[in-house]
Structure 1
Amino acid sequence: MKKPRSNKAPAKQAQQQPNGTSDSKLAKFLDPNSSWDKDKLLDTLYWIRQAIGLFCGLLWGAIPLVGAIWIVLFVAISTGTVYWVYSQRLNIDEEEFGGHGAILQEGFFASFTLFLLCWILVYSLVHF
């Protein structure tokens, strides 16, 4: 006979690194000497771009900004921030991750869409 399954999942323990610290993404992001695998780096850069897209879209919509110059400014802020994070803050070799182009494209179109959606919705709801 089979034993009935318990609905309770075992509690997850924090993964420990050899030096005894927990392996959290924030701690890893704040440590410029940590090693990154490709998936974790691209996920981190993706979510940074999403946060920038959301913030800029809400800000651009709340302040009644219109025109293509603000789209160009968003692209510059988003791309510049991602470039600074992986080249200056994390000190990674971009060739290991597919080069500058592959890294800078990660999450761009999704964040651009989120930016436009937030900008249009907030602008329309607040100012009309």
Structure 2
Amino acid sequence: MKEAKSVKLNSQQHQQHENGHFSPFKFAKLLDPEASWDKDQLGDVLHWIRQVVALFCGLLWGAIPVVGGIWIFIFLAISTGIIYGYYAMILKINEEEFGGHAALLQEGLFASMTLFLVLV
């Protein structure tokens, strides 16, 4: 009985994946240079990495009351450097398949900038 339920559950998951309604994501894929990425998945990962960096920098620089526009540019440099290092050095992807450097570096930029400014 249990075996029949397991087979039925696996077949439902497989059908959902084929229909595009369900896309499993494993955290091991985040550091695997051999993993295959589609444009939406990579964009989502870059977006959320940038949000985490904005959260961390915004809270840190808000706790240490820093002033001046230079800190905005420092945040942009740190955030962009982390994103570039992630997709170019860790994932080792061909950026031309995903729209070039500009498209990848722009993922989540404006949302992270807003989050950073709200937290500072």
Q: Could you say which TM-score interval applies, normalised by the shorter chain?
A: 0.7 to 0.9
Question: Is 1:32 aligned to residue 33 of structure 2?
Answer: yes
* 1:42 corresponds to: 43
Q: Which amino acid aligns with 2:68?
A: G
Matches within 5 A, 1:42-81: 42-81=43-82
Shift of 1:110: 0.3
Distance 1:88 1:39 in 2: 20
* 1:111 corresponds to: 112
Distance 2:68 2:13 in 1: 48
Shift of 1:89: 0.4
TM-score, normalised relative to structure 1 = 0.74
Q: Taking structure 1 as reference, are residues 45 and 25 closer, same or farther at Cα in structure 2, changes over 3 Å only?
A: farther
Shift of 1:14: 8.1
* 1:19 corresponds to: none
* 2:83 corresponds to: 82
* 1:92 corresponds to: 93
Structure 1 portions without partners, runs of 5+: 1-10, 16-22, 120-128
Q: Which amino acid aligns with 1:84?
A: G
TM-score, normalised relative to structure 2 = 0.79
Q: Identity of paired residues, percent?
A: 63
Shift of 1:25: 3.4
Distance 1:64 1:57 in 2: 10
Q: Which amino acid aligns with 1:88?
A: M
Q: Alignment length, in residue pairs?
A: 102
| Structure 2 residue matching 1:33: 3-state secondary structure | coil
| Structure 1 residue matching 2:67: 3-state secondary structure | coil
